[in-house]
Chains A and B, each alone.
Chain A
Amino acid sequence: GAGVSQSPSNKVTEKGKDVELRCDPISGHTALYWYRQSLGQGLEFLIYFQGNSAPDKSGLPSDRFSAERTGGSVSTLTIQRTQQEDSAVYLCASSFVSGGVGGYTFGSGTRLTVV
């Protein structure tokens, strides 16, 4: 696609429910990244994919968070048993090569609100 596409754009969920966030990167971009941004905070790294594998999962805050990528394209971030502190904007980014050479392109994000 022309840009990084994320869905849904907004998600309100009840505490304790599971949610899935989707990211469709730019066609041909092999590297895919998930970040989250809480109100007034910087971007917090969650996980990085190179192809379908995730060499760096160091940013996932707990075992309630998981992510996968299939076909070297679409990625899904799953949050189980959501908590109020999970409320944030979840941003996906992709780049042509790993290491972010030339910078990432970000999607428009999914705003998650846990009530």
Chain B
Amino acid sequence: QKEVEQNSGPLSVPEGAIASLNCTYSDRGSQSFFWYRQYSGKSPELIMFIYSNGDKEDGRFTAQLNKASQYVSLLIRDSQPSDSATYLCAVIKDTGNQFYFGTGTSLTVIP
């Protein structure tokens, strides 16, 4: 079983819509959760991190964490073509120091 699972997509949404990206993780003891964005040919860049159950908002981005169900999601409101990228979910377990990454979800925002 993979540590982190993501739907590879591709996910397509029209410009201005809400994009919803989902991620599940296997270790119930996981403590920290991250979303990275990776443009084609570029390295990942951190968008948001969340540690507590509930929602965390930053601009057009909202991260949602549900530890009981072991999922974390990222909502992108008012999606823009510049949001088109692969979004990587990452998790840190309570005992470790490394990130476990999902394989990423490819998002295309259609103008």
Where the two chains meet, the residues of A that have a C-beta atom closer than 8 Å to any C-beta of B are: 31, 33, 35, 41-43, 45, 48, 50, 55-56, 59, 91, 98-109
21 A-B residue pairs with CB within 8 Å = A42-B4, A42-B88, A42-B101, A42-B103, A42-B104, A43-B44, A45-B98, A48-B97, A48-B98, A56-B96, A56-B98, A59-B98, A91-B44, A100-B92, A100-B97, A102-B49, A105-B46, A106-B45, A108-B42, A108-B43, A109-B43
**In the assembled complex, how far is the CB of residue A36 from the closest CB belonging to chain B, in whole angstroms?**
11
- In the assembly, what is the distance between CA of A42 and CA of B69, in Å? 23
Please name the residue on chain A nearest to B6 by beta carbon. Answer: A42
With A43-B44, A43-B88, A109-B43 in contact, do A101 and B100 touch (Cβ < 8 Å)? no
**In the assembled complex, how far is the CB of residue A100 from the closest CB belonging to chain B, in whole angstroms?**
6
- In the assembly, what is the distance between CA of A102 and CA of B99, in Å? 12
- In the assembly, what is the distance between CA of A92 and CA of B105, in Å? 22
Contact with A along B68-104 (1 / 0, CB 8 A): 0000000000000000000010101000111111111
**In the assembled complex, how far is the CB of residue A19 from the closest CB belonging to chain B, in whole angstroms?**
19
Main secondary structure of the interface of B (DSSP, over half): strand
Q: Say yes or no: B43 contacts A104, CB within 8 Å.
A: no
**In the assembled complex, how far is the CB of residue B46 from the closest CB belonging to chain A, in whole angstroms?**
4
Interface band, chain B = 20 to 34
Report if B25 contacts A (CB, 8 A). Answer: no
- In the assembly, what is the distance between CA of A58 and CA of B8, in Å? 26
Within 8 Å by CB of A91, from B43, B92, B100, B103, lies B43
**What are the 7 A-B residue pairs with the smallest beta carbon separation, nearest first?**
A42-B103, A103-B46, A106-B43, A43-B101, A45-B98, A42-B101, A98-B97
Residues in chain B near residue A35, CB distance under 8 A = 101
**In the assembled complex, how far is the CB of residue B34 from the closest CB belonging to chain A, in whole angstroms?**
5
Please name the residue on chain A nearest to B103 by beta carbon. Answer: A42
**Contacts A43-B44, A108-B43 known; 10 new A-B pairs at CB < 8 A:** A33-B98, A41-B103, A42-B88, A56-B96, A91-B43, A99-B96, A100-B97, A103-B34, A103-B46, A108-B42
